[in-house]
Amino acid sequence: MERNTVKKKVRWSYAIAILILLFFATTRARANETTAAEEEQSVTNARQAIYEEFAYASGVPWYEIAAIDQYERNIATFIKGPANELAYETISIRFKPEIWSGQLAPSVYEDCLDTIGLFGGLGLDGDGDGLADIHNEQDVLYTLVNYLLGFDDFEAALLAYYQNEEATRIILGISQLFAHHGTIELDERSFPVSTWNNYSYENGYGAARGWGGRRSHEGIDIFADYGVPVLATSYGIVEVAGWNKYGGYRIGIRDIYNTYQYYAHLQGFAEGLGVGTLVEPGQVIGSVGSTGYGKEGTSGKFPPHLHFGLYKYDGSKEWAFNPYSHLRRWE
């Protein structure tokens, strides 16, 4: 009898110890999440503040400065060469050596104003220390806003700097979103179909497709009934809205992270939606259908579903990636 009582006490002690350990582990995890969130918010606040500071001093709209910085932030991991080694506390803008220092300058990143001027570089002194230091974000932002002020038009400045129409278009879209919402905090997300309705999906990314030639499936199919609302997953700008022989009635939306969201096989579009429309997470943009695989109006060749794809522009090319993990998180 006494032995059984001792065993029960040991079991209870063991159970209580496990519960205490779980409590402290959970508390620590939550504390780490809170700290990470606070640090991220602090960086966001610092970014917004520095954009507004330079906008006030220069007259260049803060959202134009912010859009360039956001684009540069988006492509940072894909940059190669000396610019890839640059790092700043707040910003992500990285001037190439030949732009900062000038062609044929003796140093990769020259800091002498006279030498930079001699070789036709853009680098300027933003903090009054007499040097154009590529590692000083004050100098970098001062150089950027002075470059923009040299043009009558923001789009013209972007085209001249990037020599890239796609990059220019994306930055202009990000600028529109920042200006419209008055903030760079546009991270909210939504699942792409109404979760009030029945739906199902699995990870079919990369599966073979045969119609129109052999190809792989660049997306996830979310099966639902005809007419179920299709929702924008993020803040973004509509780049494409119309018919495609593969995707039927489809919509393409670009968010502030250079990510293109592709919604296909729609039954139709939301009223008033078209190229250039700004959308928000959870906004109805269309409805589930089964259009595609033929000339415009073709429908019913497969069960109704939303084909949802994600594509990333890295500064030189655009490529598909698997949306499955994102869908699970947004769900």
Q: Is 254 helix (H, G, I), strand (E, B) or coil?
A: strand
Q: Which residue has the higher pLDDT, 80 or 307?
A: 307
274 lies in a domain?
Answer: yes
The string of pLDDT tens digits covering residues 57-67 is 999 999 999 99
What three-state secondary structure class fits 284? strand
Indicate whether 49 and 149 sit together in one domain: yes
Q: 150 and 213 share a domain?
A: no
Given this model, what pLDDT does residue 211 score?
Answer: 57
Q: Are 65 and 144 in contact (CB under 8 A)?
A: yes
Domain boundary among 153, 181, 209: 181
Tell whether the model's pLDDT for residue 42 goes beyond 90: no
Rounded to the nearest integer, the mean pLDDT of the chain is 91
- Asked if the structure places residue 3 within a domain, the reply is no
Instruction: Check residue 217 and give its pLDDT.
Output: 80
The answer to whether residues 132 and 229 belong to one domain is no
Instruction: pLDDT band for 34, please (50, 70, 90 cuts).
Output: low
HSE-CB for 61 with a 13 A CA cutoff: 14
Domain count, the chain: 2
Domain identity same for 50 and 125 = yes
**Cα–Cα distance measured from residue 87 to residue 266, given in angstroms and rounded to the nearest whole number:** 43
Same-domain pairing of 109 and 226: no
- Domain end marker among 119, 150, 181: 181
CATH code of residue 302: 2.70.70.10
User: Residue 53 and residue 55: Cα distance in Å, rounded?
Assistant: 5
Distances 156 to 56, 147, 300 between C-alpha atoms, Å: 22, 11, 46
Position 218 in a domain = yes
176 and 48 inside one domain: yes
Higher per-residue pLDDT: 160 or 22: 160
- Report whether 73 contacts 53 (CB < 8 A): no
Please, how many CA atoms are within 13 Å of residue 273, restricted to the half-sphere of its CB?
26
126 and 48 part of one domain: yes
- Examine the domain organization and report whether 131 and 230 are in the same domain: no
User: What's the mean pLDDT in 87-113?
Assistant: 94
The answer to whether residue 15 is domain-embedded is: no
Any idea which of 33-42, 167-176, 217-226 has the lowest mean pLDDT? 33-42
Structure tokens at 154: 């923001």
Tell whether 289 and 160 lie within a shared domain.
no
Confidence band for 154, pLDDT divided at 50, 70 and 90: very high
Residue 22 belongs to a domain: no
**Confidence check: pLDDT of 13 > 90:** no
Last residue of one domain, picked from the residues 118, 152, 181:
181
The answer to whether residues 220 and 268 belong to one domain is yes
Q: What pLDDT sits at residue 82?
A: 85
- 250 and 292 part of one domain: yes
Please give the average per-residue pLDDT across 224-234, as a whole number: 97
Residue 25 included in any domain: no
Q: 11 in a domain, yes or no?
A: no
Average pLDDT for 231-245: 97
Q: Is residue 220 part of a domain?
A: yes
**Using one digit for the tens of pLDDT, what is the confidence trace for 101-153?**
999 999 999 999 999 999 999 999 999 999 999 999 999 999 999 999 999 99
- Counting other chains too, the contacts that 203-212 makes at CB distance below 8 Å and 24 or more residues apart are 203/322, 203/324, 205/322, 205/323, 205/324, 206/322, 211/246, 211/293, 212/245, 212/246, 212/293
Q: Are residues 55 and 175 in the same domain?
A: yes
Q: Which domain holds residue 171?
A: 44-181
